[in-house]
Every structure is written in structure tokens, then in C-alpha cells.
Structure 1
Amino acid sequence: MYKKKVPVQINCGLHFFKELLNGKWKLMLVYYISQGFRRPGQLQEKIPNGDRRVLDKQLGELVNHGFLNKKVFNTKVPKVEYELTDLGRDLLPLIITIEQWGEAHRQDLEKVLKTDPKFMDVL
């Protein structure tokens, strides 16, 4: 089993947030599920550069950590849908605030991205 090299810190709420919601697509997945995109294929369409395996892994972690519920429908062709739990719904105002902050500071943030070599292919 994988063991982290650096012990998990839970000294404050930011540490909990980082440990449980750190992931390239987790906040976007929660947001899109809140907008009615509940099936893995729909989420893949909303996040086209997200690798399906990574999205599935992060969806599983969000379920395990209590932010999402996973519904499996026993049909001829198996069907899966995700829905927010109360914990996931409580996270939405924070996600919306972060998105608004990003839009409000778009010009400054784009300048930063243009000068950072690891983001050269983004803009």
C-alpha cells in the first residue's frame, strides 16, 4: 500500500481542504455535477482534456470522502450517476467564489501564465 513520504497535516481547515480536495479536476467535478452533469460521459465532455482514468479516480475519491454519492443502475447496459451529498453542496459557494475570483483577476493571471514556461502551451 502507498504511504506518503510527508505525513498528512491536519492542523487547520486548510490542511483538511488540501488533503481531501487536492486534485486537478475535483472542484470542477463537484461544480459540474451540481449543474446537472451526473454521468461519467457527460463529465468527460465538460472536461475534455481530463484523462478518463484520472476523472474516474477522482470521482471515486470524492465518493470515498463523502462529497458525492454514486448511484449504480442495474440495467442491461450498466449506468452510473453521481450526486452531491450535503458536504458537497456546502462546498459549492466556495467553488463559485474561487471561480469569480479567477474571472475578476483574469488579466493578471494570464500575464503570469504567459511568463511561466510550464504554461506556454496553454495560452
Structure 2
Amino acid sequence: MMEDNNELFGKCPYFTAQKVFSGKWSILIIYHLSEGTLRYGELQRKMDNITQATLTKQLRMLEDYGLVSRKIYSEIPPKVEYSLTELGVDFIPVLEQFKVWGDKYIETINTKSHN
């Protein structure tokens, strides 16, 4: 009998990772923050096609999962910066492997389309 999905979170590493990175933009957000702390507007510009509502939702989700930290400065207008937490930084080697695999995959499909 299959376990209830909620029971798998925090027990099965594959299910847990899939759940944490289930947001369409999660990996790209982590990638941009891996290059350094960004203000909200800077991150949104780097993300290009993401709406403000979606970016806010994804950032909150990553913050809830403990991968992204939000720092609010009490100034007018308010300044908010996002950075990776220690858990987020721990994901960077995985992110680098995604790049290696992604480059290889792109090369493979481009080679096949030219044959």
C-alpha cells in the first residue's frame, strides 16, 4: 500500500526534494540568488517573464522551506533583499550538476535535430 503523500515529506528524499522544488521558477530563483543577494526588483528583472504575484508566491514558498532568506530594511520606500540560507547554499552543487546535465541534453537534442 502506498504511503499518504504527506507522510512521505521529510522521510523520502526524492519526494521531499520534488516537493521543495515543485514551483515552476524555484530552480531559476535559486540560481540567480546563488550569484549573490538581490533586491526584489533586481530578481524580477533577471527572471524576465515572471509576474510579480508568481515571484512573490515562489519566494514565500522557498522561504517557508528554509532555502531563501528575506531581509526587510525599515526605510521609505521599504527595501527588501533576498539571499540563500545555508540550506539554499547547500543546493548549489546540485544546481551545478543540473547545468552539466542540461548542457549535455541541449547538445544531444541539437545534434539529433541537425541529422
Report the TM-score when normalising by structure 2.
0.83
| CA contact 1:37–1:43 (8 Å) conserved in 2 | no
RMSD: 2.1
Report the Cα distance in structure 2 between the residues aligned to 1:46 and 1:15, rounded to whole angstroms: 29
Instruction: Tell me the number of residue pairs that the alignment of Structure 1 and Structure 2 aligns.
Output: 108
The answer to whether residue 95 in structure 2 is matched with residue 95 in structure 1 is: yes
Q: What is the letter of the counterpart of residue 104 of structure 2?
A: A
* Equivalent runs, 1:34-113 vs 2, <5 Å: 34-109=34-109
Q: What is the letter of the counterpart of residue 99 of structure 1?
A: K
| CA contact 1:73–1:80 (8 Å) conserved in 2 | yes
- Cα distance, 1:84 vs structure 2: 1.0
For structure 2, list consecutive stretches of 5 or more residues without a partner in the other structure. none
Report the TM-score when normalising by structure 1.
0.78
Report the Cα distance in structure 1 between the residues aligned to 2:95 and 2:69, rounded to whole angstroms: 19
Partner of 2:27: 27
Report the Cα distance in structure 1 between the residues aligned to 2:100 and 2:39, rounded to whole angstroms: 26
Rate the CA distance shift 1:111–1:15 in 2: closer, same or farther, 3 A.
Answer: farther
Report the Cα distance in structure 2 between the residues aligned to 1:34 and 1:48, rounded to whole angstroms: 17
- Cα distance, 1:86 vs structure 2: 0.8
Report the Cα distance in structure 1 between the residues aligned to 2:22 and 2:75, rounded to whole angstroms: 34
Report the Cα distance in structure 2 between the residues aligned to 1:111 and 1:49, rounded to whole angstroms: 28
Q: Runs of 4 or more off by more than 6 Å in structure 1? A: none
Report the Cα distance in structure 2 between the residues aligned to 1:18 and 1:91, rounded to whole angstroms: 13
For structure 1, list consecutive stretches of 5 or more residues without a partner in the other structure. 1-5, 115-123
